[in-house]
Structure 1
Amino acid sequence: MAARPLSGAAANWGSQERAMSNSALVNLATVGSDELQAMPMSVFTANLEHMSAEAVVRFRRMRKLSASQRSAVEKILAEKSGGRPGPSAAERDSAKQPSDKADKKKPKEAGFCMEILLRAIAWWEGMETDDVARAKGIKRRRKKKKAPAAKQIQSPAPAASAPSAAEEPPISLSRLEIIQKLWGEGHSLPGGADFALRIARSANFKRRGRFLDLSPGLGGGMRAVAAKYNVSILGIERDHELAAEAQRLSQRQDMLDQAPVHACGPAGFERADFNPAGGHSAIFMREAMFRFPDREWLLNEMRRGLEEDGALVLTDFVLAEGVGTDEPEAPALAAWRISEGHIGTPWTETEYREALAAQDYKVESFEDLTSVYLPHIQSAWRQLHDCLQKAKLLPETATRLMEEGAIWLARSQALETKQLRLVLIHASRGSAADDDEEQPDETDFIPESTDEADGQVSRV
């Protein structure tokens, strides 16, 4: 008899269990019911152990659990309530005197993205932030002590009735507000207007033709480019919430004619999105191509939409050569795939060049922007960390911060391994004799994925 295939949730948890490292926690309270039922007991129990007794009780009350999960919950609660014997003297001595191996592997210091994520997880689980950090083997950032100020005449102590900072109401931030606090008003990706302009300058804006942006997000970068070069750019966004807000922002800035943003259909990009054929001077896409299961289809439709010598301008995540074959894949790279929704394998530079050549593109440049991109991420999270240093967060805001933080933390850590890079690709459309030959039917579309010093330049 053939083996019964795993359900989608079970398959996801199976891959996550294999790829989980000590730097990732699963928030059991936000896991879907199907995923919770399919979750391996080893993952379920491991995450219960990181929760406080109060958080476990709250979780048990909120969720419908299987018999084995209820048993695991009761066992963990019994241990946390004092049923587990304390450490022996030898264990306490060994804890005070770490092994040579532990000495060599010091805990990694938390960056600003990780610091916010730690605080959000601690709030949700009812734990102290330091306890979460210790459980994850992470060294928290510490404020530098200020030099003692000169002696001053002390003013009278404030009245007991004066409100303190701790009494300020909790902060509530929507997903769109969190995104814009990170990347700037009207922006949904790192770097703001300056980085968007740097990417777009590869295109030829002297033609005054049609321009298409296939990942405008909130439209801030697209509007900056349209204003600088006095051109009109149409944005087609896959995230309907981002598209609606981008259109509203364009209207508010009186740029609705110059920088409109529409949402694509529920099935993803369709062939009609690239019309008129041969009518676009440039097509842009940022950090999105790696998510698509049929990238060849997308490159073909982009080429069909470009006029002769029109520019294709992409930023995308690519794998370093030999990852997974000549050298093992780093755990941070596996964690990144999970955070992005179990995406397929991104292309290497060689594979990108071969795919472009197969579609009769001419590659003008391939530029590594990783060293520029990472500081933009770190700077944005540093500012948000400073803003929320003493703030109280409402539950929904903490959850959104955890979700957004997990994605960008995973991206940063994967990029730091140097097995993943962010590249800027500038290619131009060739002049094949007949672009309409053997094209897909008009009703064909590309499905969305299952899920969102200068760099070195190599030129052909």
Structure 2
Amino acid sequence: MSDIITKSKKELDAMAPKEFQLALDDMSASAIERFSKMRKLPDSLAKVLDTHIAKGKWAAKGKWAAKGKGGAKSHSAKPGRASRSAPTPSKTRLTPDDGYIPFPERFRAWWDGTPIATVKKSPPTGSRAAKTGTGHQDKNKRDENMPGAAGILHSGTIDPDPDWTARVRTRVWGEGFGLPGGPDVICAMARLCDTQIGDKAAIFSAGASGPAVALASETLASVTCFEPEGSTWLQAGVPQRDAITLNIFDEHTPDFGSKVFRRFFARENMCFAPSRQKVLKAASHALQGGGQFVFNDFVLLEHGHEMDAVKSWRATEPMPPLVWTIDDYKRHLSDARLELKGTANLTKSYVAQVEADWRRLMESLATDPLPPEGVDALMSEGTIWQARIAALKTGQLSIVRFHTALRTIRSLSGPA
């Protein structure tokens, strides 16, 4: 029986009362008491929990009463001295005196960069966090002698479970999305280039199904997604929608077809492409006459000395980024026969969106915690986004939206 403390709200809502009762039977009284205060349950399970707690208290009370009525271990009170009261069940409480700092507080302090007291001793035996699989004590305490918030969260290189990475991204950004903004971003890009019903559109390396589903729903266009081999989306499966298809491309020699699409889109991934010039030319080649390519990307204000936060961001990303300036992009877009129609700096709203979504996640951890493997994925993803935001806040790095269109080559005729 899996521990119900680690289950999400959705999993608990779908749980049968009998299965829930069996899970309660495997838990200690103190663990059940903490669980009842920590989680909100549907009515059917709440009744089971209340009944279980009531029976436990009644049984404990009856046992103590029996001992006090002449049982083998009972002791009569001595004359002239008040009798000692029956023992009461011990209750494990996580207080500041325990020296244990719950994971949500640790994570918040790490994300905010604020100091936090080092864990000096383990949480009390029997507590949720002390049990492997029900809390995060093993993962969070392993480098407890290191100062600061980061030291009590993890150490060394984390190699998170890919499935948990996908689940963490879903929890932060929403079902089917791996980047901030949800469906609004791709729909705004489609409106910018006046995508029409019946247009054929393409998305470069979306990494998840959400953008394609949103684009197909908003514009009623057919959407083709180009993903590199090994994409996490390939492991998760393709949504069963007639308007959406998934094509695999070679990252080093990309080919998106010839004169196939009216609209092409990409989000914050061009700087990670191993052959970006080839991607631009392949996208241009895939556009029909009048076709447009809209994409967002990380952009440097100018080349030169980089601040430490930007250097740290480069080192933190799973794939090292090659960041261009707007002038770099103008030159390479022209080489790819793409005309730049306009740019927009989205950095301020982008940072605000990311921070709001991660703070919402922090708040949810208090009532919907993660198991250790989920914590590893959360920390790995959090480290990446923390570095991105820190780099963007320097002002040397920006998120810029590029609106481009296929440049028409006009043939000139005249007297021979």
Regarding TM over 0.5, the answer is yes
Contact in 1 for aligned 2:111/2:386 (Cα 8 Å): no
Contact in 2 for aligned 1:246/1:261 (Cα 8 Å): no
Shift of 1:311: 0.5
Structure 1 partner of 2:148:
133
2:325 to 348, 357, 366: 348
Shift in alpha-carbon separation, 1:127–1:341, aligned structure 2, 3 A: closer
SS at match of 1:431: coil
SS at match of 1:200: helix
| In structure 1, C-alpha distance between the alignment counterparts of 2:149 and 2:362, rounded to whole Å | 20
Q: Is residue 244 of structure 2 the alignment partner of residue 227 of structure 1?
A: no
Q: Is residue 233 of structure 2 the alignment partner of residue 242 of structure 1?
A: yes
Contact in 2 for aligned 1:356/1:362 (Cα 8 Å): yes
Matches within 5 A, 1:438-449: none
Shift of 1:279: 1.9
Shift of 1:309: 2.0
Matches within 5 A, 1:108-119: 110=109, 112=111
| In structure 1, C-alpha distance between the alignment counterparts of 2:318 and 2:338, rounded to whole Å | 30
Contact in 2 for aligned 1:207/1:281 (Cα 8 Å): no
Shift of 1:293: 3.2
Matches within 5 A, 1:24-63: none
1:409 to 337, 361, 386: 386
Shift in alpha-carbon separation, 1:314–1:348, aligned structure 2, 3 A: same
| In structure 1, C-alpha distance between the alignment counterparts of 2:397 and 2:210, rounded to whole Å | 26
2:166 to 176, 180, 189: 176
Matches within 5 A, 1:272-351: 273-275=255-257, 277-322=258-303, 325=304, 328-341=305-318, 343-351=320-328
| In structure 1, C-alpha distance between the alignment counterparts of 2:269 and 2:403, rounded to whole Å | 15
Contact in 2 for aligned 1:188/1:218 (Cα 8 Å): yes
Q: Is residue 414 of structure 2 the alignment partner of residue 399 of structure 1?
A: no
Shift of 1:137: 13
Shift in alpha-carbon separation, 1:137–1:385, aligned structure 2, 3 A: closer
SS at match of 2:323: coil
Q: TM-score, structure 1 length as denominator?
A: 0.54
Q: Is the radius of gyration larger for structure 1 or structure 2?
A: 2
**AA of the residue aligned to 2:329:** Y
- Identity across matched positions, percent: 26
| In structure 2, C-alpha distance between the alignment counterparts of 1:280 and 1:187, rounded to whole Å | 23
Contact in 2 for aligned 1:290/1:346 (Cα 8 Å): yes
Shift of 1:261: 3.0
Matches within 5 A, 1:197-216: 197-206=187-196, 208-216=198-206
Contact in 1 for aligned 2:197/2:221 (Cα 8 Å): no
Shift in alpha-carbon separation, 1:344–1:401, aligned structure 2, 3 A: closer
Shift of 1:388: 1.0
Unaligned runs of 5+ in 1: 1-108, 139-171, 435-460
Structure 2 partner of 1:60:
none
| In structure 1, C-alpha distance between the alignment counterparts of 2:212 and 2:269, rounded to whole Å | 15
Unaligned runs of 5+ in 2: 1-107, 120-134, 154-161, 412-416
SS at match of 2:405: strand
SS at match of 2:340: strand
**AA of the residue aligned to 2:211:** G
Structure 1 partner of 2:334:
357
Moved over 3 A (4+): 109-115, 118-123, 127-132, 134-138, 390-393
| In structure 1, C-alpha distance between the alignment counterparts of 2:246 and 2:181, rounded to whole Å | 20
SS at match of 1:337: helix
- What whole-Å deviation, never above 9, does each CA across 1:42-99 have from its counterpart, x for those lacking one? xxxxxxxxxxxxxxxxxxxxxxxxxxxxxxxxxxxxxxxxxxxxxxxxxxxxxxxxxx
